[in-house]
Amino acid sequence: MPARALPATQPAARPSPSMAGPRGCLSGFRPLLRLLGRAPPESQRKVRMDKRRATHMYAVRGRIGSGAFGEVSLAASKQGGGDCVLKVVELEAVRKFEDLEREVTLHSEMDHPHIVRIYDWFLSRRRTTLSMEWCQGGDLRQALAERECIDEPEAQPLFAQIMRAVRYMHSKALVHRDLKLDNFLLQKQDVPLERNIVKVIDFGFAARFVPGTKALKTVCGSPGYTAPEVWKGERYDERCDIFSCGVVLVCMLGGYCPFEGNTAREVIMRTIHRPLDVSGPDFEHVSRETRRLMLRMCSRNPDRRPSAEAVLATDFVQESSDSEVDTPDLSPETIINNLLSYCKLDFLVQASRYHVACHLDDASVAIMRKAFNRIDVDGDGLISLEELQRGCGYHGDIGSVEDMFRTLNLHGSGAIEYTEFLTAMLGRRRLPESACRAAFQSLDAGLRGVIKARDIAEALGSECIERLRASGLPGHQAAGGGKSGGRGFRYEDFVALLSTRPDKP
């Protein structure tokens, strides 16, 4: 690494615990929220606050870290559902519960291969706990601190993944506002950087924006990474994230943060007044085109910065090596066959498999993630009908493809989302028991060992409840089914449901 090492990240502009939650609803926890005087609006959904204590479901194996808001621990499911990370935040340390709730909601709506997945959200009178995906490789800052230098071929795959995640967030009209080395986790441990998987965390400063407008005005972020227009109090848009990603790229290739200082104020003033300089010896190994890209991304004039889509189209990203080159490919024929088989399943089976797909570990999704990223040519984290046809080289009946596409589009987003794709690609393979148990455990809100069809649909949102009602299932199946009859599905019934084969045409 060059003589100047990456400095410790300056404190954020305002405190924010990193919280997030899975798809679901808030209705089950309204009594406690009302007791706290913090009841969310009735229309809120996609987040499931759980009455259960996290300790009912998870056994803590050891502490990973701690901070002003609480601690982070590695935990294992008591029901054999695999390992996860538990993040505990003391409510007395949270300034405004609404900020916490907003962060949970926004993160819960993200479904992307390069954004950390959240499993459950638990809320008690004194603390809130998240269970989330475990990334074993630590954060990108730690990884770079262990290196003397990182060259372009190593940085390209990592940066491509980062920009795919940012492109996806922006396509969902979401701006992150705190993209920095510390908020990118590496999925694998003891794997070369160019073969690793990057995932975004911490949506504490995330916000909705209206495309084509500069309506954001909150001053927030981390000194050294946040765009100058944010610090100046000007109205801004999603291109503040592009500036932050440019700084991240400079850190990766140059080995240090370009806006250094002894205090947060000094760092902020240099960000506002000092243009980026990549002409020194620390960047002699960087190509002229890449240096130009960094200068454009870190322009003090946000109107001169490229969009995330434009960055993905640059040679620097397009020429990056495949980070999963050692992972086998799914053939187009296999993909189409799995999609067709999935579309023949009952809706309840589809929804149940979706929950299992949410809990698959990295080893189980690697092949499917590679196929998803290959088909998602524009990098927006969604597969359109045109991408599906081109990516699979399908030249059959267009009408049948359109019907299949509508069936796959479980949440009505107009495109196939990541977990929807994973669900379809599970095909006829034997589902991992750890993922099945984790899915059942997450749905069993009452810890009764029994779940109902409505539980399965409700956790995916109100539109899925309507689809369940319209699915034409027999009454006992809609109520619960399985050997328990109308009382619900026990775990063995749930596994039998997951193993249902598609009806023949």
Q: DSSP letter string over 51-80? A: SS-HHHHEEEEEEEEE-SSEEEEEEEETTS
How far apart CA 425 and CA 419 sit, in angstroms, is 10
Q: Are 146 and 288 in contact (CB under 8 A)?
A: no
So what's the pLDDT on residue 355?
92
What does the pLDDT read at residue 414?
Answer: 73
Could you tell me the two tokens for 413?
Answer: 């987003």
Give pLDDT, residue 428.
77
CA-to-CA distance for 15 and 69, rounded, in angstroms?
Answer: 9
In the chain, what are the domain boundaries?
Answer: 27-132, 140-318, 332-498
Per the document, the length of the chain is 505
* Type of residue numbered 225: Y
Phi and psi at residue 74, to the nearest 5°: -90, 135
Q: Nearest to residue 373, comparing CAs of 309, 430, 421?
A: 421
Please state the separation of Cα 301 from the chain's center in Å.
Answer: 29
CB neighbours of 386 closer than 8 A, spacing ≥ 6? none
pLDDT at 30: 31
State the DSSP string of 187-206.
S-SS--GGGS-EEE---TT-
The catalytic residue among 139, 178, 237, 282 is 178
- Fold of the domain spanning 140-318: Transferase(Phosphotransferase); domain 1 (1.10.510)
Is residue 180 annotated as involved in ligand binding? no
Q: Residues in the chain with pLDDT < 50?
A: 1-3, 15-47, 474-476, 478-480, 484-485, 504-505
Q: Hey, what are 200's tokens? A: 């975004």
| Correct CATH for 332-498 of 3.40.50.720, 1.10.238.10, 1.10.390.10, 3.40.50.300 | 1.10.238.10
Model pLDDT, residue 101 = 82
- Which helix (H) or strand (E) segment is 419 a member of? helix 418-425
pLDDT of residue 391: 86
The whole-number pLDDT of residue 7 equals 56
Tens of pLDDT, residue by residue over 254-304, are 998 999 899 999 999 999 999 999 998 989 999 999 999 999 999 999 999
Is 178 among the catalytic positions? yes
User: pLDDT at position 49, please?
Assistant: 52
Write the burial class of residue 86 (CB in 10 Å: 0-12 exposed, 13-18 middle, 19+ buried): buried
Q: Is 284 left (phi over 0), alpha (psi -120 to 50) or beta?
A: alpha
pLDDT of residue 425: 93
Pairing type for strands 58-66 and 198-200 reads: unpaired
Reported as type and span, the H/E element at residue 343 is helix 332-343
Fold for domain 27-132? Phosphorylase Kinase; domain 1 (3.30.200)
| The pLDDT of residue 215 | 94
Do 392 and 218 touch, CB atoms closer than 8 A?
A: no
- E strands in 196-269: 198-200, 207-208
